[in-house]
Amino acid sequence: MLVKEIKELRSMIKSWRREGLSIGFVPTMGALHEGHESLIKRAVAENDRVVVSVFVNPTQFGPNEDYDAYPRNIDKDLKLCMNAGATVVFNPEPKEMYFQDKSTSVSVSGLTDVLCGAKRPGHFDGVCLVVSKFLNIVTPDRAYFGQKDAQQVAVIKRMIRDLNIDVEIIPCPIVREEDGLAKSSRNTYLSAEERKAALVLSRSLKMAKKALDNGERDAYKLKELIRVEISKEPLAKIDYVEIVDGDSLNDVEVIERNILVPIAVYIGKTRLIDNFTYEI
């Protein structure tokens, strides 16, 4: 079922609550793929009702980013959601989500100053604002986020903690193509040649993980290993390669605890991210 208005969705949610039903929530920007499908299916397995939002959020795009070009196909997205077992797809217009004279912002400091946050100023303010609005509208018991956007997961978890929002955040594993490329809506931007070149992300991370398994604990050496491998691909340009604490996102020099290894790489004009977590 497709719902466009907050009032209608809230009415449905109130009726579910009166019945004592649990609610799962999967926020998306559409252009759905198997990665999103895995989130929806897990939400369906763990909740009585599931709401999926499909909303290309304008507040998280910078002035020179791809908001207008971002792929949109609500008919295809609705079909995927319903086939995966979702109860409702919430697809509001921007004017439904944001008042013309809106004056409220939501900002998480520290965690947003590094990685993608350092490269995209204001991005996570937009993410936090829209997620907090969705959580207020849907009031879910559980919300499901893909681990591919690992910094986003960390920021949302911190926001939930700091604002005492009563929801459980469920991070879900990265879903990959058979050749290892992480599923992403932006993969559709890649030419055939760029699609092949993009495999350098997962390949370099796999090499770093193998080195960790073999006992390497020097973060600089691991980052250099990744950089060298990426530099072999002519179409790839490194945005960042980091090794950080899994919770604080602070830099790590010697690996003695759980870490996150995130990378961002431009393949042609398309910026792709990937990562893995490693538990000590």
Catalytic machinery residues: 36
Could you tell me which of 5, 160, 134 has the C-alpha nearest to residue 59?
Answer: 134
Could you tell me which of 106, 103, 113, 148 has the C-alpha nearest to residue 130?
Answer: 106
Q: How many Cα neighbours within 13 Å face the side chain of 44?
A: 15
DSSP classification of residue 150 = H
Q: Are 278 and 212 in contact (CB under 8 A)?
A: yes
- Name, in order, each residue with C-beta under 8 angstroms of 173's C-beta and a sequence gap of 6 or more: 38, 147
Could you tell me which of 255, 246, 256, 247 has the C-alpha nearest to residue 277?
Answer: 246
Q: Are 120 and 62 in contact (CB under 8 A)?
A: yes
Which residue type sits at 235?
L
Which residue type sits at 97?
M
d(CA 58, CA 258): 34
Strands 270-278, 259-267: parallel, antiparallel or unpaired by DSSP?
antiparallel
Angle subtended by helix axes 74-84 and 34-46, to nearest 10: 40
Strands 168-172, 49-54: parallel, antiparallel or unpaired by DSSP?
unpaired
